[in-house]
Amino acid sequence: MSIRLHNIAKHFGNTQALEPINLDIHEGELVGLLGPSGSGKTTLLRIIAGLENADRTTQPGKILFGDRDVTNVHVRDRRIGFVFQHYALFRHMSVYDNVAFGLTVLSRKRRPSSGEIRARVFRLLEMVKLEHLANRYPAQLSGGQQQRVSLARALAVEPEVLLLDEPFGALDAKVRQELRRWLRHLHDELNFTSVFVTHDQEEALELSDRVVVMSNGRIEQIDTPDELYRTPANRFVFEFLGDVNHLEGKVSNGVLTCGDAYWHVDLPDGHEELLLRPHEVRLTEQPTSESHLPVTITAISPVGAEVRVELEADWLAQPWLATVRHTDFEHLALRRGQRLFAHPRHWRRFPKVTEKTTEQTRVA
Amino acid sequence: MSQLATWRTGSTRVLPGFGLSMGISVLFISLVLLLPITGLFGQLAGLSFAEYWAIITEGRVVASYMVTIGAAAVAAIINAIFGLLLAWVLVRYEFPGKRLLDALMDLPFALPTAVAGITLATLYASSGWMGQLLEPLGFQVAYTWVGIALAMAFTSIPFVVRTVQPVLEDLPAEVDEAAMSLGATDGVAFRRVILPHIWPALVTGTGLAFVRSLGEFGAIIFIAGNMPYETEITALMIFVKLQEYDYAGASAIASVVLFVSLALLLAINVWQGRFVRRLHGGKG
């Protein structure tokens, strides 16, 4: 079922939580709403669910599920499944009763027979690999298991749209990773339309078909994870999607200077701020004629596929982060307190005046 | 040996002051609670069982039990309904004057019960504001058991509100939202999700209100009319015995009230403990 939002806005008192928003989500898509807290992503999700009402202004917004206008439809009749960050399980009911809830509250005419309910609940519990815990109470389960119960409960009513509000936010890193993969799998298998909220860029990029990046109640960019990472629409998106190093200084005659550091760049004269990703910083023992950016290593963290190195210098307002391959790390014999020279491989600038259009990227 | 040493020095405890605070607590409980109760039983020692039985089963006293228990039960049921409603309003909605209403909830605790009694009696007497309105319709409140129940409800409503309120606050709004997103109507969500959650607190609060009503005196005697066999409450019977300097008789009736109250409180506690254990997954 596709979801179309047209002109959806929301005020809480005098503060505007959402500026008027248009959004099209295709059938079968898995879409992530990504943004910092207060960006309006949860409000948007709750409006789609019908747990919150959009503003009724002179030009009221519209929400369509397929061809069905659900703008004024109550949450209980929207045929959605909603998964909450803190599970919101019914604590006085067993796992079985929690999952069966949506089926047992159906009107007598539409309610399946008790045998059918039983079969369906066990099928769902099997899917979330919890059939052996059917008689337990939520308090006896781990966080990851509780979230799986809550997902099974949401799926029991066969929703057309599955909405998840920071579904993995309260879980530890390892369980989160596992559930993420499992949700993606489930989504592909059952082929419903899903929208989930997250503040974790890695989660959004890994899980989504498309990501909606939000800030301050506005949509900043809607794109596939790949496009989003390669061609961010503006500085906010670029900075939000990963670690960023800032290089600020004055350019004159094609040389950017900042304290005792300098670097040849092909830019007009004036004050400039350039942004680099950690993997775009190369480290050497000697300066080149092109660049002289002396730095000192203050921390080394050899965890993961690459070694993360923290760099400081007098001419830097904030420390830089560089990632080095393990082989280079051994080759350079890096250690804390060592003095090296940084060379930007690639950089971007987002001139402040016209944010959206004139993003420039260069290979140095 | 070493165990004794650690026990005496208390070195295994991180929190200081256990000995002193526990000692003072026990002393205080003894002085304020246990000593008077012992005194009560001391008075009973002068009675044989037959005499005791005769006093507590005398017709006028038994009638007072009926009036007290009946009115207290009605008051408790009224409080269960309206107390729940008040707690719900105080927890779930934001409105101007919410804090004032919240503070007003404690008024029956703070107000001398005699003041409440006099106020209610003047309001509901046939010349009072409410009495004038109700009397022509055939409702007589003052000097009937309805008045007794009303006075009891007034003095004990905070018990229900104050026990249900924190439990409702503890129930996240997400839980009703979850129920509704699964298609439950408001009524079903309340009956199957909210009510089971607050049920232990509601029963406890209602039970406490009931027990409190059994012993209420000041608020009731002004509005009750105190007609023998009809609107006399048990607390009044104790008072009457005392005025006749029949201390043993007063103690005998008092002991009945005490036993019933204690038994009820104990039953509520045991039942609630069992319920809470289930809610926390059998882990106590």
Strands across the sheet containing A255-258 = A291-292, A261-264, A255-258, A245-252, A270-276, A346-349, A360-363
Question: In this predicted structure, what is the pLDDT of residue B1?
Answer: 47
Which residues of B fall within a CB distance of 8 Å from A74?
180
- Indicate the class that CATH gives domain A245-363: mainly beta
**How many angstroms from the chain centroid is the CA of residue B227?**
25
* Domains in chain A: boundaries: 3-240, 245-363
Interchain CB contact of A119 with B (< 8 Å): no
Least Cα distance to B152 among B83, B238, B213 occurs for B213
Question: In this predicted structure, what is the pLDDT of residue A63?
Answer: 93
Fold for A3-240, please state it: Rossmann fold (3.40.50)
Mean per-residue pLDDT for A101-127?
A: 92
Mean per-residue pLDDT for B131-154?
A: 87
Residues B261 and B89: their CA atoms lie apart, in Å, by: 30
Residue A8 near residue A21, CB atoms below 8 Å:
yes
Which residues of A fall within a CB distance of 8 Å from B180?
51, 74-76
Predicted TM-score of the model (pTM): 0.79
Residue A103, min C-alpha distance to chain B (Å): 8
Q: Which of B168, B181, B280 to mutate to test the interface with A (most CBs of A within 10 A)?
A: B181
Q: Model confidence over A163-204: pLDDT tens digits? A: 999 998 878 888 888 888 888 988 888 888 999 999 999 899
Question: In this predicted structure, what is the pLDDT of residue B242?
Answer: 92
Q: Model confidence over B68-111: pLDDT tens digits? A: 999 999 999 999 999 999 999 999 888 999 999 999 999 988 88
Note the CATH architecture for domain B48-279: Orthogonal Bundle (1.10)
Question: In this predicted structure, what is the pLDDT of residue B148?
Answer: 92
Mean per-residue pLDDT for A209-213?
A: 95
Helical segments of chain B, H only: 2-9, 18-29, 35-44, 49-56, 59-92, 98-104, 107-110, 113-124, 129-134, 145-170, 173-181, 186-189, 195-215, 218-224, 234-243, 247-279
Q: Model confidence over A268-295: pLDDT tens digits? A: 888 888 899 999 998 888 888 888 899 9
SS3 B107: helix
Residues B224 and B182: their CA atoms lie apart, in Å, by: 51
- Please provide residue A110's backbone torsions phi and psi, each rounded to the nearest 5 degrees: -95, -10
Greatest alpha-carbon span in chain A? 82
Query: A211-238: b or e for each residue (b if 16 or more CB lie within 10 Å)?
Result: bbbbbebbbbbbbebeebbeebbbbbbb
First to last CA, chain B: 33
Say whether B283 and A140 touch across the interface (CB within 8 A).
yes
Say whether B183 and A153 touch across the interface (CB within 8 A).
no
Residues A317 and B4: their CA atoms lie apart, in Å, by: 62
DSSP string, A73-87: --GGGS-EEEE-TT-
Question: In this predicted structure, what is the pLDDT of residue B284?
Answer: 36
SS3 A203: helix
Say whether B183 and A92 touch across the interface (CB within 8 A).
no
Residue A85, min C-alpha distance to chain B (Å): 10
Side-chain half-sphere CA neighbours of A191 within 13 A: 1
Residue with tokens 């949506």: A102
Which residues of A fall within a CB distance of 8 Å from B177?
51, 75, 82, 84, 88
Side-chain half-sphere CA neighbours of A203 within 13 A: 27
pLDDT of B189 higher than 50 = yes
Residues B229 and A123: their CA atoms lie apart, in Å, by: 65
Show the tokens assigned to A53: 């009402």
Residue with tokens 């794109």: A223
By CB neighbour count within 10 A (0-12 exposed, 13-18 middle, 19+ buried), where does B267 fall? exposed
The per-residue pLDDT of chain A, averaged, comes to 89
Residues of B within an 8 Å Cβ radius of A: 172, 174-175, 177-185, 188, 192-193, 196-197, 278-283
Q: How confident is the model at residue A150 (pLDDT cuts 50, 70, 90)?
A: very high
Say whether B180 and A75 touch across the interface (CB within 8 A).
yes
pLDDT of A29 higher than 80 = yes
ipTM: 0.82
